[in-house]
Structure 1
Amino acid sequence: MSDTSVRYLMMLRMIPRYPKFITTTDLVKKLEARDFSVNLRSIQRDLDKLSTYFPLQVDERTSPYKWSFDREAVIDVVPALDLPAALTFELAKAYLTPILPPKTLSHLKPHFDEAHRTLLGEQSLLSRWPDRVRVINRGLGSQRPAVDADVMEAVTEALLRGYQCELTYQARKWPEPENIVVHPLGLIFRDPNVYLIATIEGREGLRQLALHRASSGEVLEKTVSRPEGFDLDQYIKSGAMGVLLSDVPVNLRLWCDRPALNHLLEAPIGADQVITDLDDEGFELTVTLGDSEDLRWWLTSQAAYCDILEPQWLYDEIEQTLETGLLRARKRGC
């Protein structure tokens, strides 16, 4: 392959999809960094030639010109998708569509479309997989609040690059929206919301920012100040996403009926879960969990199938909740 052909391939790899772009000047710099000796005029000629064969578009209103691939273009400058890769894209589309805003998904649409065409053109048994697999989440499946697509794009880019981000944000307890500079640390999708875990410039502590409450976002090319020792997995395991009611963990001991709670034998609710006294009637379960609202909701929903053996204060609290609910139902004649 000639040097010119290699240069063409390198140039195509450097050109992003619209609305992002690269200028001819930046292309020259990037190619020179890869030991290609080129000048601005030759790069412009190359791009004009390549645009005949590839879906390139140019903005000539500025100097230097800005080049990008068409947003909807299928770019065939990489090996064609094989069947397993096409299947992966097809399933990724099913999982991501309920989570990500349309504008964010639009960047993946050409790949999704190509994957779908690949599967349609195959007679392999694997091509039938997307029609035979479904994912059902537990719970009521509340409708997700709309997240501004530009906010999502700014936040994800800031996370990837390790940059700070400016948001216009309206917290529940704030009288009006505020412009805040945040240091993004992680993104958590917890039905039905998307949370940015971050610190806020000038304020103490880690924050959970629900992204549907942000109306605008902008990436700042300033490096994030990351708290020493922060780990996203450890943050989640601490129970912070479960609306902790205290910092003291709950040493829970339950008697669980079978078969209603058999799933707990295979899917532990905590890392230190221990099962004892297992028989046909039920089993005893001990586990350490965060003192959270989620724990109370779960215990209330499973009250017909388990007894709280310890701690006594939690037993009393759940009992009071159930009695209040029963009294309310009786007042309404239910």
Structure 2
Amino acid sequence: MDTLFRYIAMLQLIPRAPQYKATTTLQTLLEEKGFTVNLRSIQRDLERISGHYPLICDQSERPYRWSFDPNFKSTLPAMDTATALTLVLAEEYLKGLLPQIAVDKLSPQFHDARKFLDGLRENGFADWARQVRAIPNGKALLPAAIAPPVWQGISDALLQRQAIEVHYLSRQKKEVKQFTLHPQGLVVRHSVSYLLATVNDYEDIRQFALHRIQQLAPSEAPFRPHPTFSVENYIADGAFGYPLDRQQVQLVARIDPSVAWTLAETPVSEQQQLSDPDEDGWVTLTATVPNDQQTQWWLMGFGARVEVLEPMEWRKAIAEQANNMLAMYSREECQLTGG
């Protein structure tokens, strides 16, 4: 029985190609799971298992390295209806959030979920996969395409804490530059994935869009960790949210009935209050929100259905933006009509 459990544990540790795990690595990981076994036994186990599972052995160097065939569709553990439906929903949602290369990494699980549902025709579940969709909130751009070697190289560098050499297309100067990067984090924002890294011998964190990395290779330079860096603090400091400051503010706004209905069901914050409707049906919203431009842009997206009363700085900024747009469209209207 112990041998069977060891086989199952070993199968769970072996990645799909092009990733590999050496027999020495498997030995260490098995020991962490409580299995004591020598390298020769592991090699014999893998040779036996490969008669039943599509394992690939790379014998070009020692110790040998093992992986699953990349097209292998695992059925372990067995699927259930709730898990299958959740995976179908997850696939629909992630397609609009993550780069395609990242979604592809989960394609075996998504394939198994759809196959499971398709096999339940007698229970009426076969059409579920075609009846489920995830709709993004607002207009979502297609995720920027990332070369598979780049995604794999970034993943490995982050997990193994290794420096990398990259050829990067600079957006500002529109030319390809070479950098030695020390990866510190990864952030997916809207349709773009960013590597957070220090460059060469500098200490400041910079952002590198993964789709602009044209070449990537491991670096011989020793990895330089950033001991005080935190992705959470980096985002909170406004690197991606364009904050006005670190404080929160009290938002007060008049909102029309349709917006009020939406916010009653999906509040803008945990500290939110909605007044009773006035004689025109409008509601006063009071909420504690971050003092950032993202929230201002969200408010502006409602157009004339929201009137910001406080903070006064927000009201003035939104009014100025509205006046600028009115002036621009009025000018263009005169040009189009010859007035």
Give the equivalent residue in structure 2 for 1:132.
131
Q: Which whole-Å CA distance do the structure 2 matches of 1:181 and 1:75 have between them?
A: 36
**Amino-acid identity (%):** 31
Gaps of 5+ in 2: none
Is 2:22 the partner of 1:23?
A: yes
Give the equivalent residue in structure 2 for 1:96.
94
Q: Which of 266-275 and 25-34 deviates more?
A: 25-34
Aligned-residue offset at 1:72: 0.8
Q: Which whole-Å CA distance do the structure 1 matches of 2:239 and 2:270 have between them?
A: 16
Alpha-carbon contact 2:101-2:146 (below 8 Å) kept:
no
Q: Which whole-Å CA distance do the structure 2 matches of 1:305 and 1:31 have between them?
A: 60
Give the equivalent residue in structure 2 for 1:84.
82
Q: Which whole-Å CA distance do the structure 2 matches of 1:135 and 1:117 have between them?
A: 19
CA RMSD of aligned residues (A): 3.6
Aligned-residue offset at 1:257: 2.3
Secondary structure of 2:258 counterpart: coil
- TM-score, normalised with respect to structure 1: 0.78
- Number of residue-to-residue matches in the alignment: 327
Alignment of 1:177-326 (within 5 A): 177-185=177-185, 187-197=186-196, 202-203=201-202, 207-217=206-216, 224-227=225-228, 230=230, 232=232, 236=235, 240-245=239-244, 250-276=249-275, 278-279=277-278, 281-326=281-326
Give the equivalent residue in structure 2 for 1:49.
48
Give the equivalent residue in structure 1 for 2:71.
72
Aligned-residue offset at 1:213: 3.1
Deviations 1:305-324 (A, max 9, x none): 23232344433332232222
Counterpart of 1:253, as a letter, is V
Cα distance change, pair 79–293 in 1 and its aligned pair in 2 (3 A):
closer
Gaps of 5+ in 1: none
Secondary structure of 1:259 counterpart: helix
Cα distance change, pair 318–49 in 1 and its aligned pair in 2 (3 A):
closer
Counterpart of 2:273, as a letter, is V
Aligned-residue offset at 1:55: 0.8
Aligned-residue offset at 1:121: 1.1
Secondary structure of 1:92 counterpart: helix
- TM-score, normalised with respect to structure 2: 0.77
Q: Which whole-Å CA distance do the structure 1 matches of 2:303 and 2:28 have between them?
A: 67
Q: Which whole-Å CA distance do the structure 2 matches of 1:4 and 1:259 have between them?
A: 62
Cα distance change, pair 113–311 in 1 and its aligned pair in 2 (3 A):
closer
Alpha-carbon contact 1:83-1:127 (below 8 Å) kept:
no
Alpha-carbon contact 1:157-1:219 (below 8 Å) kept:
no
Cα distance change, pair 103–275 in 1 and its aligned pair in 2 (3 A):
closer
Q: Which whole-Å CA distance do the structure 1 matches of 2:299 and 2:3 have between them?
A: 68
Q: Which whole-Å CA distance do the structure 1 matches of 2:330 and 2:29 have between them?
A: 74
Counterpart of 1:92, as a letter, is A
